[in-house]
């Protein structure tokens, strides 16, 4: 560890702090889809979903600056902006999802959502998939396998096998929906038997951390039927797929074609300003608000509301959901045209795409995928990895990503593929 | 509910949303110690600790605006500002409290602190007082009596009687420190017996939500000895007393004269920008970071770091800790000179003062205190209530509060006291 910044970081933050790359980029400036490091080197950002409408979008920056100079107090007085925002937000959702609690992070949102399910059902049992991450609080980390909780998994939490593209549950893509639902039904029965009862199933409607396997519209229908029969709630964690990223729908649940009881939001919501939300129906909200006097000091304060409103404005004014649809389709086509013996599948939707790499025998090419990410970085492109074995290249850029950006990425990836050797 | 904003709020946020006043103030602008409502009416803010260095302080606003326009991405790359901040922050703390995790809220900070204690001790048992609030996550709400958790208190949490001014534990102010420690020792024994072991005691070093009883320096010494003997950690929640509010010390634990193992920060840290932190020693940090791969997307991002740095700068440049000391002492004197048969005690430190009201028979004058808050509001002053029976008027203004502001407050309070009748 020769980088003085890395040394300072270890001294001031302790060991084992998650970073991207063994020698992380020292970023100093961002604009649109670009980031610059301290040496003035430019990177095409193909990874970050936080700057949803582009790094440092002037309209969002101006909204933050103006409101911060006018009023930024806590949320126990009355202020119009947060109500304007909830009205705009819930208008996109339908299905009676008309009320919201504003929070500061996706983790806080999911922490509330779990308790909403518990308050509404009177049960405590929770289900998630066995290859996911929903956040960093004590309660939410109990539903996360990518960062297992301190003290292990409690008995009121059950993890069901995640769907996969290359190794689908039930042995085939056709059988997967039923097999997934059968595992959920089994988990519910176990929770009932253990005396916890079933409160809710939290899932990402794009199964983003699971490696976003290709799933047909209606994939969750058998699971939803199982959940409804058991009286539990479906909690849709839209932190990654939401706000139009998938191109053909504003929300992941709309694309998959099911109706959640609770929707949680985070990262991209205010383009980097710490804002999250939990949206639900009035009946569930009343159960939660009666059971717990929830209050969040910063959640939905005037600056948070202004930043989130401006982000929605830019999405609309610049037609960024349409852009995600169009450029995403173009990028998917170009990536699918790449030829490499280890490229097992290219998949995704809108501006959330992946390329999964395997060895001849079908086993995951994890180290190879890692080398690709490093090779792309050397060519000025930031990307990531995902999936159970971290063998899927993950492309999830800011929404103003253009065809030119897509060409730049795929041309570079083509070169990197040609030059990268499988590790011995 | 005739106010259209209140109606909209209920429609969009649900029932039972915490607000100040039955008809909350509709705030639209803030500056320094002043807030303005939609009708242009000005209020002296004697309550809000979030705008620590004053509402909309231009230096903090400028830091936020400049950094938001330059770079605002997540925290897995390298960036210098967050390291500069942690260095500045921990330099004020001493006792090896040299490493920090940046988060977005005090609730997130306390949620981490509880797990630090559990990771460092291998035990799960937690203690808090029986009249407190430490935050809104699932885990943290289990230590809060002011907003009891959904599902009730779990068996690994024990609540000990809070210290009091007018009805001290053990029957006298002198006996209170020992009585408090004895209750903590009993709770630890119960946790051991139940098989949980003892991980940590979370407390506010000013017992702010408990009504900040008057306590001698050294009050916690017997308790600290009990905790150390049992191998548990002391988690100091400095969200309310921290950052110089108490005037004669930058941190509450310094004023009371004890050494915490973990310090948590929130509300005033970045003058309204959602920033919190957990500070601890490297040995505890290593235990936590090894046990859990904690990552917080927004925590300590470039804008958060810039806002927190600017807040520290203003505190120093404007001598606001000295101001809290001087104006606080002046305000305390003036409040103590108020004469009213129901005014049982005036107490506090720096710019965190209270006036407790009781009936002739010593029972809490809760409704009377509520009328005072309403009366002050009618005179353009925002204040609050606290204490077990909510019969203590709570004064906790932004730090640039002046002698003139203090005079305005006390003169108004004098009038309100003269004109307020005890409810029948």
Domain definitions of chain B by residue range = 4-53+319-419, 58-317
Going from the C-alpha of A19 to that of each of A6, A16, A267, the distances in angstroms are 10, 9, 17
Give the ipTM of the model, two decimals please: 0.97
**Is B9 an interface residue toward A (CB < 8 Å)?**
yes
CB atoms B51 and A65 under 8 Å: no
Q: Do A286 and B15 touch (CB under 8 A)?
A: yes
Q: Which residues of B14-36 are buried (b: 16+ CB within 10 A; e: fewer)?
A: bebbebbeeebbbbbbbbbbbbb
B240 touches chain A (CB under 8 A): no
Q: Chain B residue with minimal CA distance to A277? A: B13
Inter-chain CB proximity A73 and B147 less than 8 Å? no
Instruction: For residue A87, list chain B residues with Cβ-Cβ distance below 8 A.
Output: 12
* Sign for the pseudo-dihedral over CA of A253, A254, A259, A260: positive
pLDDT at residue B39, as a whole number: 96
Looking only at the bridges linking them, the beta strands covering B198-203 and B125-129 are parallel
Those residues whose C-beta lies under 8 Å from the C-beta of residue B317, and which sit 6 or more positions away, are none
The arithmetic mean of pLDDT across residues B158-164, rounded, is 98
Alpha-carbon gap, residue A226 to A224, rounded angstroms: 5
Return d(Cα A204, Cα A107) in angstroms, integer. Answer: 13
| Inter-chain residue contact B297 with A79, CB threshold 8 Å | no
**Residue B406 neighbours by CB under 8 Å, 6+ apart:** B327, B330, B331, B334
Does A12 contact chain B (CB < 8 Å)? Answer: yes
Give the residue among B102, B45, B53 at the shortest CA–CA distance from B285: B102
From residue B73, alpha-carbon distances to A22, A412, B305 in Å are 19, 24, 12
Q: Which residues of B touch A295 (CB under 8 A)?
A: 18, 136, 147
Mutate to test the interface with A, among B298, B383, B385 (most CBs of A within 10 A): B298
Is CATH 3.90.1150.10 the classification given to domain A4-53+319-419? yes
- Tell me what pLDDT residue B23 has: 85
The per-residue pLDDT for A159 is 97
Region B330-336 average pLDDT: 98
CA A144/CA A156 separation, integer angstroms: 14
d(CA B171, nearest CA chain A) in Å: 33
What does the alpha-carbon distance between residue B110 and residue B264 come to, in Å, rounded to a whole number?
6
| Each residue's pLDDT tens digit, B262-312 | 999 999 999 999 999 999 999 999 999 999 999 999 999 999 999 999 999
Beta carbons of A79 and B20 less than 8 Å apart: no
Contacts of A286 in chain B (CB under 8 A): 14-15
Partner-chain contact B98 A64, CB within 8 Å? no
Cβ separation B295–A147 shorter than 8 A: yes
Mean of pLDDT values over B214-243: 98
A17 touches chain B (CB under 8 A): yes
Q: How many CB pairs under 8 A join A and B?
A: 311
Residues in chain A with CB shorter than 8 Å from the CB of B20 are 76-77
Name, in order, each residue with C-beta under 8 angstroms of A413's C-beta and a sequence gap of 6 or more. A335, A338, A355, A372, A376, A381, A393
Tens-digit pLDDT profile for residues B5-17: 999 999 999 998 9
B30, pLDDT greater than 60: yes
Considering only residues A73 and B179, tell me which one the structure prediction assigns the higher pLDDT: B179
Give pLDDT < 50 ranges for chain A: none
What pLDDT, on a 0 to 100 scale, did the predictor assign at position A2? 64
pLDDT of residue B31 exceeding 70: yes
Q: Is B266 an interface residue toward A (CB < 8 Å)?
A: yes
Which residue among B27, B78, B104 sits closest to A71, beta carbon to beta carbon?
Answer: B27
Q: Which of B70, B100, B149 sits opposite A56 (nearest CB)?
A: B70
Q: Does B98 touch chain A if contact means CB atoms closer than 8 Å?
A: yes
Mean pLDDT, range B401-410, rounded to an integer: 98
d(CA A97, CA A277): 12
Pairwise CB contact (< 8 Å): A51 & B35 = no
Q: Check CB contact under 8 Å for A297 and B98.
A: no
Residues of A in contact with B50 (CB under 8 A): 73-74, 297-298
CB contact under 8 A, A83 and B137: no
To the nearest whole Å, the CA of B274 is away from the closest chain A CA by 6
A298 touches B: beta carbon within 8 Å: yes
Fold of A58-317: 3.40.640
Question: Band of the pLDDT at B1, cuts 50, 70, 90?
Answer: low
Burial class of A363 by CB neighbour count within 10 A (0 to 12, 13 to 18, 19+): exposed
pLDDT tens-place string over residues A150-176: 989 999 999 999 999 999 999 999 999
Model pLDDT, residue B18: 85
Residues of A in contact with B56 (CB under 8 A): 68-72
């Amino acid at each position: 560890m020769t980088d003085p910044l890395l040394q300072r970081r270890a001294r001031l933050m302790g060991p084992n702090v998650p970073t991207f790359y063994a020698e992380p980029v020292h970023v100093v400036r961002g604009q649109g889809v670009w980031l610059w490091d301290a040496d003035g080197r430019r990177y095409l950002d193909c990874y970050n979903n936080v700057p949803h409408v582009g790094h440092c979008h002037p309209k969002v920056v101006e909204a933050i600056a103006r409101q911060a100079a006018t009023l930024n107090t806590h949320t126990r007085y009355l202020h119009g902006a947060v109500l304007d925002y909830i009205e705009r937000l819930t208008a996109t959702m339908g299905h009676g999802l008309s009320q919201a609690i504003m929070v500061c992070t996706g983790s806080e949102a999911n922490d509330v959502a779990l308790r909403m399910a518990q308050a509404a059902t009177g049960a405590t049992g929770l289900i998630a998939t066995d290859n996911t991450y929903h956040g960093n609080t004590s309660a939410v980390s109990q539903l996360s396998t990518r960062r297992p909780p301190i003290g292990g998994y409690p008995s009121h939490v059950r993890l069901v096998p995640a769907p996969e593209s290359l190794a689908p549950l039930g042995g085939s893509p056709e059988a997967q929906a039923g097999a997934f639902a059968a595992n959920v039904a089994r988990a519910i029965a176990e929770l009932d038997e253990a005396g916890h009862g079933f409160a809710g199933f939290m899932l990402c409607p794009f199964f983003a951390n699971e490696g976003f396997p290709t799933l047909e519209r209606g994939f969750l229908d058998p699971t939803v039927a199982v959940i409804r029969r058991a009286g539990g709630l479906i909690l849709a964690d839209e932190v990654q797929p939401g706000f139009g990223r998938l191109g053909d729908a504003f929300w992941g649940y709309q694309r998959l074609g099911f109706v959640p009881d609770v929707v949680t939001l985070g990262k991209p919501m205010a383009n980097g300003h710490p804002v999250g939300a939990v949206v639900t129906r009035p009946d569930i909200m009343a159960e939660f608000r009666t059971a717990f006097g929830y209050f969040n000091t910063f959640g939905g304060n005037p600056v948070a509301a202004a930043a989130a409103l401006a982000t929605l404005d830019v999405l609309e004014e610049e037609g960024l959901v349409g852009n995600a649809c169009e450029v995403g389709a173009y990028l998917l086509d170009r990536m699918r045209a790449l030829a490499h013996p280890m490229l097992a599948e290219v998949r995704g939707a809108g501006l959330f795409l992946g390329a999964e790499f395997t060895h001849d025998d079908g086993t995951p090419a994890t180290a190879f995928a890692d080398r690709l990410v490093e090779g792309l970085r050397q060519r000025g492109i930031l990307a990531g990895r995902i999936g159970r074995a971290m063998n899927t290249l993950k492309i999830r850029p800011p929404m103003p990503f253009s065809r030119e950006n897509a060409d730049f990425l795929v041309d570079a990836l083509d070169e990197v593929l040609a030059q990268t050797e499988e590790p011995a």
